[in-house]
Chain A
């Protein structure tokens, strides 16, 4: 019996983190966030791909590494820790998971191979299957998609979109098609990109098995939720580490503020809240691969619970920094906002918990 990361997984996690620390410093992230320096983003993305992340989940027969979801989760954790400004969850986790679960042999060969060789990059928009806002939604007729998809992840750099209607049918469309319009949605989190995709009779490739059951899209959403949980986990740990360091250094009334119980207890509470989240995220990733009966429940609880803990930590860690935490000088707000957006994407905690309940009734 062994519960935890393997040596390879730990090594991979550290590697991704080191790459980001070296190449995506807070200064670089500020430049990307300003919106005028898209080249920096491209360079960081290219180096990130050199680590092999795009083919991580793609089976070996299609040119990928065929690793398990726990590997993908530790990458996500490192991205969260460094507020990594690169596409990841949509193109390299959700898209391959969806295609493996629902694609025909031809579709798998076509898309998975190209994901692994980095010829294509898929933005993913499943929001309308989870819960439609602003009356958005897509309809599919005569081989073409019509309508709007909101909060499509990593849309701006995508060559293709993987979209869903409210029945859970999944479609792949070409981002360059003349019927596609991409409208950038500016969220508080400038480290990642979201867009509204408007489709006017866009030719769409229906993933074959997704019209038979919602299991494939559900599997892909579960994987995405576990990744978001892992991202929040890494971001929360980074905020705690910064808060604890600050509490040791900053002096008021002649002593380090971390010696006051009011501050010290906030730090202890953050740790007590976050520490069990590691095991929950790892366990959920493991169940996604090996334990289909529990996987829905575990993925939902990982997403909802880590979102709740992350929200509290983002607030407390900012408060430990006092006024400095509120400024742009420390850049703590990049983590705060990342955690805040992760919480809502692919289902807010209340929606996800309702799915958790339904999965056991």
Chain B
């Protein structure tokens, strides 16, 4: 056991700390960008310096605090991948409430996929504008009839005269209304077995024949959409991997998504916010934290979060020191991380009682209503990206080797 990072990293921490102090409390101009910021990071605070999201993104890349290991020629910083430095950056940014880099599906999922499987031409065309926040992507995976059983998707792509003609419908498409591009799973080989008939296509959202309808979720903040494709034409080359390889390409990116949904350090920050809230707010004039039942529930949650934080250190260590077996340890992350965050946000609502129900711009609302918003938002994350029930199937079948359910004929 050795939890020290070493002198090189102490220097680096100081450097990041200085940077973060300078930009602490930064917020963004233009309402469109602010809306996106809320979607990708619901905890951004609102006092301090202001600038455009895209300007901030560029500053972060120039300093190597974002896209650190992406080659310069594709618009990244061009440094070595260094997990400890990434961790220091995340921790310091969070400590000083400096907004993190823009996330979103293009950055988190498409860029890693392109780096791994894209052609040189595709890398040149898409990575830089995506990293710089100039090209927003949405993900066209789920369909009304293809949720947990994603591979049964039916949106159709036919190659006619050197163009893909796309027809069908996607659902749960976050940020479609802001997006320039969509990375999309489309059935192009109708006669192949279901997993082998899918291709991974890149669709410009301004192509004619695309209709976007907002799909309002329980938080009532702008979020999901339904996207309809009617005879949408795109160039033949807008495909990652070969025809029929889309399932494998998509699985590479789903891996990128799941691990990053509920990092325990972010959850611990919320625990600390809750402790602060419980010291300040009162019930019958007595601070909430002195209420024995509330404080016991707080400690239960803190114990769970500490366990997940320690577990995070174990997984980090396994990446730095190859050969350690943490297969199941990784599989449980999405399930445990999202469930715990939802539980924590729900506890904050409980300790506030009636005050906890306040929403939007209500008088007496605490912490800008983030507890209710994130409580609901994380229910969405518990369901999205592979539901908790699907996660349990994965843990049991791939992790523990329990048998699959018998297949129903024809499904």
Contacts and interface: CB of A to CB of B under 8 A. Distances in A.
Contacts of B174: none
Interface in A2-35: 2-6
A244 interface: yes
A277 B328 CA distance: 13
Interface of B: 1-6, 84, 275, 289, 292, 295-296, 298-300, 302-304, 306-308, 310-314, 316-318, 320-321, 324, 328-329, 332, 335-336, 389, 391-393, 395-397, 399-406
Contacts of B311: 275-276, 278-280
Given A3-B317, A356-B303, A256 B296 contact: no
Interface string A230-256: 000000000000001001100000011
A265 B400 contact: no
A268 B317 contact: no
B400 A244 contact: yes
Nearest to A68: B1
Nearest to B395: A268
B307 A265 contact: no
A86 B196 CA distance: 58
Given A3-B316, A271-B328, 5 more contacts: A244-B402, A276-B310, A278-B311, A308-B300, A356-B299
A308 B303 CA distance: 10
A333 interface: no
A353 B296 contact: yes
A259 B403 contact: yes
A258 interface: yes
A275 B310 CA distance: 11
A350 B297 CA distance: 10
Q: Which of A6, A260, A264, A276 has the most CB of B within 10 A?
A: A276
A3 B395 contact: no
A269 B339 CA distance: 12
Contacts of A279: 307, 310-314
A283 interface: yes
Task: Give the top 5 A-B pairs by smallest Cβ distance, nearest first.
Answer: A279-B310, A3-B317, A305-B303, A353-B299, A268-B392
A298 interface: yes
A276 B308 contact: yes
B402 A271 contact: no
Secondary structure class of chain B's binding surface, majority of residues: helix
Interface in A279-293: 279-280, 282-283, 286
Contacts of B401: 244, 248
B298 A357 contact: yes
A258 B328 contact: no
Q: Which of A282, A305, A361 has the most CB of B within 10 A?
A: A305
A210 to B, nearest CB: 27
Nearest to B394: A268
B1 A304 contact: no
A202 interface: no
A247 B396 CA distance: 11
A282 B329 contact: no
Interface in A346-361: 350, 353-354, 356-357, 360-361
A279 B324 CA distance: 13
Contacts of A244: 400-402
A278 B6 CA distance: 25
Nearest to B298: A357
Contacts of A354: 292, 295-296, 299
Contacts of A360: 275
B392 A269 contact: yes
A247 B400 CA distance: 11
Contacts of B399: 268, 271
22 contacts: A1-B3, A3-B314, A4-B318, A244-B402, A256-B402, A264-B402, A265-B393, A267-B396, A268-B335, A268-B392, A268-B393, A269-B392, A272-B332, A272-B395, A282-B1, A282-B310, A282-B314, A304-B303, A305-B307, A354-B295, A354-B296, A361-B289
B328 to A, nearest CB: 6
A261 B393 CA distance: 7
Contacts of A308: 300, 303
A149 interface: no
Contacts of A264: 392-393, 396-397, 402
Contact of B320 (A1, A248, A261, A357): A1
A327 B318 CA distance: 40
